[in-house]
Structure 1
């Protein structure tokens, strides 16, 4: 079904953004992408979308794109996402995530774009004392990455109060997997996500996987995370956009997770199971700032959106990630 208007996807050449582009196109939306291709790839953008190469803080570019393409909504994925780097280079994160987001939001308001989906993060919660984590629990980020995202959430709330504008901030837990049809996946070199690292090891790109911390208060002593399939996450964005359009006076902040977690060792067991290999595991000390367990309470998203996970299965997530990793190996020769 064709939709009225175009959705601007920032960072649409990246991992999650490229999946959102697919989900929007498959749902009948026209899509224009703005990406500076620093970490994204032009080939990851579906050819049905228009790719504009540039920065989101280039207000002339952004406002011209919004005008020329009849943009009615923004999905904002552009930004920096590596937590340790945010600690060592905080100003980069406040520039790329907070300052650039402020510019983008202003461009949307000036251009009359009334709907905004924001790629936020569970890092806004910091080290939660209670698990699973609900949206109304304290936001106490422990690194500049989480703080830079929380600052953008606060800006969106203020702008929605002052202007005819609504938003949905989606707080991601651990995103993994790849498009089941093999159209895109996690392609960034030097990725820090466990499942990506594990499938790299399974395809011979690494000789081991390091397990950071074996003394957490969890069933096997390793950290537990809520892994959500990237295609389910992309679907949540499309349904959130439909809701913003249907209810223009309301904004939402929603956790994106499955409501249950897997430990590091359980993830590695799944990779071994799917590949019929045995990945070498090397035990190491905890990393500073890693929570023992981080799992979403997803009651709000299930109550608010007509969204139900379709790929809530660890082996399925691993299989899709592995298939993409093999395809990536072929692409890069």
Structure 2
């Protein structure tokens, strides 16, 4: 079904924790690439998923962040805190700097944690498919679409296949158009021979350690349009003030005012999720909770929207 891909920053992990019950109920499986040295937040998020009866995939060899050079502490967390738990899988990130021997060594090291292959730039699919021939039928393969085109994916046709598409076109906040198409993959994934779909939520695949000073504040809200074959679109509600990095609270208020106006217009197609209700509450109270919290609400809304669509 749905496999949202998170980079494990603080508010991403909080989102997973707070949405654990919804994720479990809908059989949604978060993929988490830990990027912070401290793994306390990751452990809390995984525990919440496990206690809710859900599943999660943890990348044990991250490409970004504090564990890029060595993911041993992530492996240690899985072995110490989540051993003999089938619902928490080890994700092996296949990049262009890995060869088949390295992939197989990582696979064998994590075989007790139901390894999942995340294809994101690997260049020897045919050779790897041969090496994994005996395991292929029970193997889950997650393909990052920009790095794993149709011919690449054909080599893994005997396994379970998930396609992840980055629908978020990252720009400077001030440059976003009011609305643009996000994805149709939730509608078309089965037509592409996939067992599930995923995305990078409203963060995108472009990784940065911090956003820097916010010259403009943007609230990103996805919605599914039943009048356009259920394609998902995204609104970008951007503050009017964008010439200095001061007064983020005032800029948030400007962006929030635009969101509320669109909601109240009656033709927004935005689902009135719990996250949207919290945006309404923030507007009513005139409160700015911080940009990380705003991002969390947008991610929660995105998950709630897909949960409603997937029934």
**Do these two structures clear the TM 0.5 threshold for a shared fold by scoring above it?**
no
- Higher RCO (CA 8 Å, separation ≥ 6 residues): 1
Could you state the TM-score of these two structures normalised by the residue count of structure 1? 0.33
Could you state the TM-score of these two structures normalised by the residue count of structure 2? 0.35
